[in-house]
Structure 1
Amino acid sequence: MEPGENIVTACRTCKDERKHVVVAAENGVPLRVQCLTCGANRKYRAPKPATSTAKKTATRAAKKKAPVRKLDVSTLPAGEARPYAMDGQYEAGQILDHSKFGLGRIEEVWSDDGKMRVLFEDGERKLLCGKAS
């Protein structure tokens, strides 16, 4: 490339591919270019190689979280549900009645942490529970 030669490259001012004139070049490589549309004079940057969008989509799909587990509350015996209290003692498998989340089944209890994992109709949640003495 020689000064005065026209090339098409991305213009950062116009935010689009535009014709530019080479203002300065060294050993056939443009150093500075000027946009013929807006007149912006800037350092030349070689275009980035085109990448496949299918590869990016596959990568994002692989990183997606596991599907959300939900509970079918119609199968739960509502009469056996215990009301939820943060200081209560619970065991895995018990049915819980939470004032905000509704009916849920306790999946796992970590008594040393004072937490439990409960499966509700809208998904899993971790709740506080009383620590074992």
Structure 2
Amino acid sequence: MMAVSRRRAASYAQALHDMRVRGVLCDATLRLDDGASFRVHRAVLSASSSYFRALFTSATNSTTKKDVALHGINSTYMASIVRYAYLQQLDIKEETVLELLATADYLCIDGIVEKCLAFAVENLKPENCIGVLKFARQVQHE
């Protein structure tokens, strides 16, 4: 079996992302509490998240789960998560890393969780260490 080059894999990923943006062959819609919605390809999200894999492939949902309500998720973070699922690109900011981490953890997107944790550790300073500690304790108790 021939290996796919990184450039070709990136080209495929970009094509899938472009198709999603245009709504081509999308087979599910994610709906958020704030009114935002995201047309997606179930296979792409399932490949990057065990949460979506279970949601879309369970015996009762494999062909019927096409409209998904996601409660308590911010549309800005969801946009980042969807972009990551398609392109493996993530823009992490110090002021949003913890909320993005919590959202990715909830949706079982290990790649984002790992990147957010690495970012938080690299950017840990006396000014933010108490906030990070409070966040860690809150997540531990949930």
Give the TM-score of the pair, scaled to structure 2. 0.18
Structure with the higher fraction of residues in helix conformation: 2
Greater relative contact order (Cα < 8 A, sep 6+)? 2
Q: Report the structure number with the largest CA radius of gyration.
A: 1
Give the strand-richer structure, 1 or 2: 1
